[in-house]
């Protein structure tokens, strides 16, 4: 079991986003989280990704219960994020962006970074600055970066939201190919993207 979330609840003053949500995801499984804007999709993803804490409930990542003292370790070892806005270092190269998680973890990730750059179709572009890439190319870099530490769980927040339909399909095809041995959760409003997933949750 890669992810087990039990009875997750989250509210803000005057607003209950969700209550008593249970989720389980094994390696090779994929889940789409859907729903209207403001319903809490990204918040739920941030809870699962240990970037925020639920008001109640538990989260287990690779059979380890997430607690304050081990959250950073679990996040760095087991979770990779892909964001709608890419969140790249625009003045840095493709290679520097991809290898960043390994550097944060103080690993020698050069070989894996180059393998991932090739895998996402950017071989020969590793020294190009991120600011000169197209939207689809930036998302390819973001996917490679998310995989750099070989995480077990990939969390993607509207990964095709800033792309046209042709690039959206290319990115979805790529994402599901490179993540087929991972657990994958995608927040999306696009039914076409959700249809790539094995199951869905609507908030």
Q: Are 129 and 93 in contact (CB under 8 A)?
A: yes
Positions in the chain whose pLDDT score sits under 50? none
Domain 3-202: CATH architecture, name and number where available: 3-Layer(aba) Sandwich (3.40)
Distance CA 60, CA 144 (A): 25
Q: Is the CA virtual torsion 119, 125, 126, 132 positive or negative? A: negative
Q: In degrees, to the nearest 5, what angle opens at C-alpha 144 toward C-alphas 78 and 111?
A: 90
Among 63, 85, 68, 70, CA closest to 153: 63
- CA 1 vs. chain centroid, Å, equals 18
Quick one: pLDDT at residue 38?
A: 87
**What residues have CB less than 8 Å from 146, skipping those under 6 apart?**
80, 81, 82, 101, 154, 156
Quick one: pLDDT at residue 89?
A: 97
Largest Cα span, the chain:
52
Domain ranges of the chain: 3-202
DSSP 157-170: ESTTTTS-HHHHHH
Distance CA 128, CA 113 (A): 14
Terminal CA-CA length for the chain:
23
Quick one: pLDDT at residue 175?
A: 96
- Residue 38 gets the label, from left (phi > 0), alpha (psi -120 to 50) or beta, of left
Quick one: pLDDT at residue 106?
A: 86
DSSP 8-34: EEEEETTEEEEEEEEEEE-TT-EEEEE
Is this structure's pTM higher than 0.75?
yes
Quick one: pLDDT at residue 105?
A: 86
DSSP code, position 133:
S
Q: In degrees, to the nearest 5, what angle opens at C-alpha 36 toward C-alphas 87 and 180?
A: 55
DSSP code, position 129:
B
């Amino acid at each position: 079991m890669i992810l087990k979330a039990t009875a997750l609840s989250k509210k803000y003053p005057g607003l209950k986003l969700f209550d008593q949500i249970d989720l389980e995801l094994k390696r090779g499984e994929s889940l789409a989280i859907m729903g209207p804007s403001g319903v809490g999709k990204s918040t739920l993803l941030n809870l699962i990704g240990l970037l925020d804490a639920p008001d109640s409930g538990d989260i287990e990542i690779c059979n380890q219960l997430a607690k304050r003292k081990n959250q950073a370790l679990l996040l760095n070892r087991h979770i990779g994020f892909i964001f709608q806005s890419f969140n790249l270092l625009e003045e840095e190269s493709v290679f520097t962006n991809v290898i960043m998680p390994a550097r944060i973890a103080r690993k020698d990730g050069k070989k894996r970074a180059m393998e991932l750059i090739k895998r996402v179709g950017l071989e020969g572009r590793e020294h190009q600055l991120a600011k000169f890439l197209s939207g689809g190319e930036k998302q390819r870099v973001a996917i490679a970066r998310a995989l750099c530490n070989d995480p077990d769980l990939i969390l993607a927040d509207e990964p095709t939201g800033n792309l046209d339909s042709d690039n959206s399909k290319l990115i979805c095809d790529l994402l599901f190919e490179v993540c087929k041995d991972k657990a994958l959760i995608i927040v999306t409003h696009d039914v076409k993207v959700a249809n790539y997933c094995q199951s869905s949750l609507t908030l």
